[in-house]
Amino acid sequence: MLRNLPAYDSVLRTTWHIVAVADDIKQDQPLQAHLLGETIALWRAEEKIVAVQDRCPHRGVSLSAGNVKNNSELVCPYHAMAFDSHGQCLRIPADPKIKIFPQAANLHTYPVKEKYGFVWVALQPPDQDIPDFAEWKKADANSFHCGPYLIKTSAPRILENFVDIAHFPFTHSGLLGDPNFPEVFDYRLAVEAGEIVASDIHFYQPNPEGTGEAKSVSYVYKIVRPLVAHFRKGENADQQFSIFMAVTPVKETQSVAWLGVCRNYSAEVSNDELRRFQNDVMAQDIPMVESQRPQKLPLDLQQEFHFPCDKMSIAYRQWLKQLGVQFGTC
């Protein structure tokens, strides 16, 4: 049986979350993932990815410690109960006379999809589709993954840091900002159609994409789900550089961040170089967000002081409160 979670978790339980890189799920071995306090077993049945509660219904053993047989059957490591891609029990070796299995012998399955090379899971039937990241689909896009990054804080704290420009000159000095150019000029903000959009953001950066070219850049940021955001950098329509971040809430103060990066220029700079650059940026961010107190994101705006340029963060906190998100907030 599923653990009874508080009703307020329904907001995030009906949302798609990244739980793995698709290539990490092999044909013969299940993979364990964690989401909102639940433990999930993932495996490939033929070409289909299956997600189930990582608990054998017989004696509660972790199914992700088992194996996959016949390219489709998940086998428990304890008593070798076998299950098909729908979670239905196929056989009980200890009692082969049983041919018809009760519902209690079946697994609890979760909605699962593969997109952008990631595996997305929802704990309950999702109320929206996986967010659209249009840059990933462009014919000339060079796209790759960064992460996962395990971070000991709440998922909303991490997402808010992703859209925060004001920390660039100090936390990311020499990479994304310069302390001699700390000002965040006023920008446009719109909250519409279930997303928050900040545009006309201009900022000087010494090494904005890891290519070594210093320049003043412009950003458009969008928060499209409670824990998914992305930005597009640059005003040149012929040059695209974009990153989306999805944060997976493992526990209220333990999360995993995933990045998808797209570009269509500077082919001489390898994806491995840019991945190292993003790893360096995250290595600077992680100590900052892990040190924040409280670890949960305060939705009461009086609990923390705000700069005028924090208006996107303020809109984000107000939006989470309106949605009723309480997992990882206070």
Q: How far is CA 151 from CA 123, 219, 274, 292, in A?
A: 22, 25, 21, 12
According to the model, what pLDDT value does residue 194 have? 87
- Fold identical between 22-121 and 134-323? no
Q: In what order do the strands lie in the sheet with 89-91?
A: 67-69, 73-75, 82-83, 89-91
Q: What is the DSSP letter of 130?
A: P
Tens place of pLDDT for every residue, the chain, 330 residues?
Answer: 344 444 446 899 999 999 999 999 988 899 999 999 999 999 999 889 999 999 999 999 999 999 999 989 999 999 999 999 999 999 999 999 998 999 999 999 999 999 999 999 999 999 999 999 989 988 888 999 999 999 999 999 999 999 999 999 999 998 888 999 999 999 999 998 789 999 999 988 777 666 667 777 889 999 999 999 999 987 666 788 999 999 999 999 999 999 999 998 878 889 999 999 999 999 999 999 999 999 999 999 999 999 999 999 999 999 999 999 999 999
According to the model, what pLDDT value does residue 8 have? 47
According to the model, what pLDDT value does residue 5 have? 44
Burial of 89 (0-12, 13-18, 19+ CB in 10 A): buried
Q: Which two tokens mark 301?
A: 């705006």
Q: How far is 61 from 78, CA to CA, in rounded Å?
A: 7
Q: Is the peptide bond before 294 cis (omega within 30 degrees of 0)?
A: yes
Sign of CA dihedral 219, 224, 230, 235: negative
Q: Which residues pair with 51 in a beta bridge?
A: 42
According to the model, what pLDDT value does residue 60 have? 97
Cβ-Cβ contacts under 8 Å for 41 (sequence gap 6 or more) = 30, 31, 32, 33, 51, 52, 53, 54, 62, 63, 64, 74
According to the model, what pLDDT value does residue 211 have? 62
Q: How far is 107 from 103, CA to CA, in rounded Å?
A: 9
According to the model, what pLDDT value does residue 27 have? 84
According to the model, what pLDDT value does residue 160 have? 98
Q: Which two tokens mark 200?
A: 């006309």
Q: What is the pLDDT of residues 282-292, one digit of tens each?
A: 999 999 999 99
What's the CATH number for 134-323? 3.90.380.10
Q: How far is 297 from 1, CA to CA, in rounded Å?
A: 31
Give which of 138, 135, 129 is closest to 243, Cα–Cα: 135
DSSP string covering 2-16: -----GGGHHHHTS-
Class of domain 22-121: mainly beta
Q: Are 51 and 16 in contact (CB under 8 A)?
A: no
- Give domain limits for the chain: 22-121, 134-323
